[in-house]
Amino acid sequence: MNDIDEMRYLLDLPAHPAAVGVVRHLVRDVARELDARRLERAEIVVSEIVSNAVLHGSRSTRDRVHVELAASRGSLSGCVSDCGRRFARVTVAAGGDRVGGFGLHIVDELAERWSVDHTRGGNVVHFTI
């Protein structure tokens, strides 16, 4: 694969709920080659990861969420970085009366692969759709 076959996009956004919508729009623009089903999965996965970064990975309104997306030949991969505390890769399945807290379960179900790295500055969630 040469450099022209892969396009990379970097965003540095405020840790604010509006970041989720911004990233969803970028996914739609970046991942045009994905079929409709895979594009929908990509939007959901990236939205869940960014939402978690905003809700759990920021301590103040001055914090930032960094998003990197790479589109190539029918796939989308990337990472989302935050400055939050270390967290475990725990997924919670739906059931009972519980409301919320299913984001990583959704990511686990829809992403081909995903992982979490912990750095001195926070967390980096990697994903591939």
pLDDT digits (tens, 9 = 90+) for 15-32: 999 999 999 999 999 888
Q: Which residues of the chain have pLDDT under 70?
A: 1-5, 87-101
Kindly provide the b/e burial profile for residues 60-99, where b requires at least 16 CB atoms within 10 angstroms of the residue's own CB. eeebbbbbebbbeeebbbbbbbbbbeebeeeeeeeeeeee
Cα–Cα dist 29/14, whole Å: 20
**Residues 6 or more apart whose Cβ sits within 8 Å of residue 17:** 51, 54
E-assigned strand segments in the chain: 6-14, 64-72, 75-82, 113-119, 122-128
User: Among candidates 104, 31, 106, 115, which has minimal Cα distance to 79?
Assistant: 115
Taking a C-beta distance cutoff of 8 angstroms, is the pair 31, 42 a contact? yes
Predicted structure pTM score? 0.85
- What is the CATH topology of the domain spanning 8-128? Heat Shock Protein 90 (3.30.565)
The pLDDT, as a whole number, for residue 93 is 60
The pLDDT, as a whole number, for residue 101 is 60
